[in-house]
Chains A and B, each alone.
Chain A
Amino acid sequence: MKENIWSRMLNLDRRWIFLFIGVVCIVPFFFPFGLPVLPTAHVISIFDYVENLGPENAIFVSFDFDPGTDPENMPMAVAVTRHAFSRHIPVFFTANAPLAQGMLESGLAYITNPALEGYFHVVSWQEWAQYRDQGITERDQLEAAWEADGNVLPANSSGWVFEGRDFAKLGYLPYFSLVILGMTSSIASQYPEDMNGNPLVEMPMLQEHKSLRDVDLAATFSGTAACTWWITYGREKIGLPVAFGVTAVSATDYTIFIQSGQLIGQMGGLRGAAEYEVLLQNAGYFDKPDRAFIGMDVQNAAHLLILFFIVLGNIAYFAGGFHKKGALLKGRR
């Protein structure tokens, strides 16, 4: 076949395309547009649901993803956790795979990192033992007693989080679908101790919420179909309310569960996380949104470039008459 401008264009070394996308994903970080992200119904419904919970309720935040989908799933899990911590809603943290447990630790390390603005200051299980011994376990009383003893919240912190009162790290167990089922009867029988080896049965949040039946929401953040376990084994067994935070690739597969009422709402990809960050900011929890929102600027530019590639590729294909002539040159790079 004779070479012309169109064939040369279509046979372009793909490394040039790699370079284009790389540049387009770097430049907007230096010149942010800061375009607004408008929250959609699927995300607002999760936010509103959590907004109506308080210290007397409890939720599960399940880190069901591995490092591969960390950039998509982590901002969602972080946003929901920060929301729950801000409202003093007790959070049980689980993970459906060993590497997911690593992501759980990494997410909590980010939320509680004193070097970051708006972090949550952790008071470990051991640190507030004396207050437990005095019978002080109610959330507001505990915080008042803790601060009365001279503990001052750092200026850049959003609040205290007491291990065992505000959160419990349950972590990973094999055959997690059956673990969800087991927790519909008893959480402590599945997890005798937390990830740090602390006895769960002694924790106030466990004493108030013994099984999934006493839990008000399970939010799963997942890069695989494992998120549906929470629907099959939690929702269908005991009516547990479930919310999804899934990768964009699988987001369109699970909207059927929203329509069927099996799911409260869903965050899809980076956009979903950015929407939740905007909702947190609008509600006055934090001064500014987090990393997902910043990433949306780059997403704009990249989508425009991909659109440009699709249009250009089609123009070259049809203008060059390749739809008639059959295959393009073989052995393209």
Chain B
Amino acid sequence: MKRTVPLMIVLVGGVLMIIQYFIPHRISQDIFDNYTIWVPIIGAFALALGVGSLTRLHGHKVRNKAPNWPYSLAVLLPIYLMPIFAFFVPVSFGGGMDEPGFYHFAFMHIQVPIQSTMFSILAFYIASAAFRAFRAKSVLATILLLTAVIVMMGQVPIGELLGSWFPKLGLWIIDFPNNAAKRAIGLGVGFGILATQLKIIFGVERNWLGGAGE
């Protein structure tokens, strides 16, 4: 019941879906259509896992007054306040309903700026790395560096001013040698995906069962 049944579900579900692909009959199509309607419903409940885990982790920190515990409140409060503001108190700052409420505000004016600024910090680190880490130490490193410089300058208008061959060469590198490398890597990844799919379907790969008891 604990391991065999889930493995059987995976096997039967996987094999049926592969067969379904090759039999475009009305019945098999109907089953498939219903399946695609069911899946998002099941998936929606997986959210409870994330919310539960975060609540448990940060609730524990707050209760035990762990170091830096007030930050845990910054996680817990929005998790529960966002739905409250969205469903029960959808009012804006002015108290009316004409402007978007706190729920919208928190997403647009707190979440979006923080998250995009965090990503943008990488620009500073790549500049620092350009100065201190990108060295032409060997032939291979030199090839990488030269390619990067050509592609980089080919992407900006000033590269076009330096010579019209710059962007053309950059595009040629992307379309041919780059494609050769990415295709070889892509084929490796593609075969890897297929092998993993088969391993999961046939129960060779069982890590997904996780630690939910034997």
Contact = CB atoms under 8 A, between A and B. Distances in A.
Whether A and B are associated in the same complex: the answer reads yes
Interface of A: 10, 12, 14, 17-18, 20-22, 25, 33, 35-38, 40-41, 66-71, 99, 102, 106, 173-175, 178-179, 181-182, 185-186, 189-190, 248, 252-253, 255-256, 259, 269, 271, 296, 299-300, 302-307, 309-310, 312-314, 317, 323, 332
A296 B167 CA distance: 15
Which 3 A-B pairs give the minimum distances between C-beta atoms? A182-B36, A174-B43, A35-B157
A306 B149 CA distance: 9
B48 interface: no
B134 interface: yes
Given A35-B158, A255-B174, A304-B158, A70 B43 contact: no
Nearest to B46: A174
Nearest to A66: B115
B109 to A, nearest CB: 11
A71 B116 CA distance: 8
A70 B112 contact: yes
B44 interface: yes
Contacts of A174: 39-40, 43-44, 46
Contacts of B157: 33, 35-38, 296, 300
A300 B158 contact: yes
Contacts of A181: 36
Contacts of A25: 123
The range of chain B's interface size is 35 or more
B123 A69 contact: no
A252 B178 CA distance: 7
Nearest to A237: B21
A256 B186 contact: yes
Contacts of B178: 252, 255
B12 interface: no
B135 interface: yes
Interface of B: 29, 32-33, 36-37, 39-40, 43-44, 46, 107-108, 111-113, 115-116, 118-120, 123-124, 126-128, 130-137, 145, 149, 152-153, 155-161, 167, 171, 174-175, 178-179, 182-183, 186
A99 B116 CA distance: 12
A261 to B, nearest CB: 13
8 contacts: A35-B158, A67-B115, A69-B119, A71-B116, A174-B43, A185-B33, A256-B179, A296-B157
Main secondary structure of the interface of B (DSSP, over half): helix
Contacts of B156: 271, 296, 299-300, 303
Contacts of B46: 174
Given A25-B123, A36-B157, A190-B37, A68 B118 contact: yes
Given A18-B124, A35-B160, A306-B126, 9 more contacts: A17-B131, A25-B123, A68-B115, A68-B119, A99-B111, A106-B108, A178-B36, A306-B127, A314-B136
B115 A255 contact: no
B152 A306 contact: yes
B12 to A, nearest CB: 18
B154 to A, nearest CB: 10
Contact of B131 (A269, A304, A309): A309
B152 A307 contact: yes
A101 B164 CA distance: 40
Contacts of A304: 158
Contact of A179 (B36, B159, B167): B36
Contacts of B149: 307, 310
Given A68-B116, A303-B152, A310 B37 contact: no
Contacts of B179: 255-256, 259
Contacts of A14: 128, 132
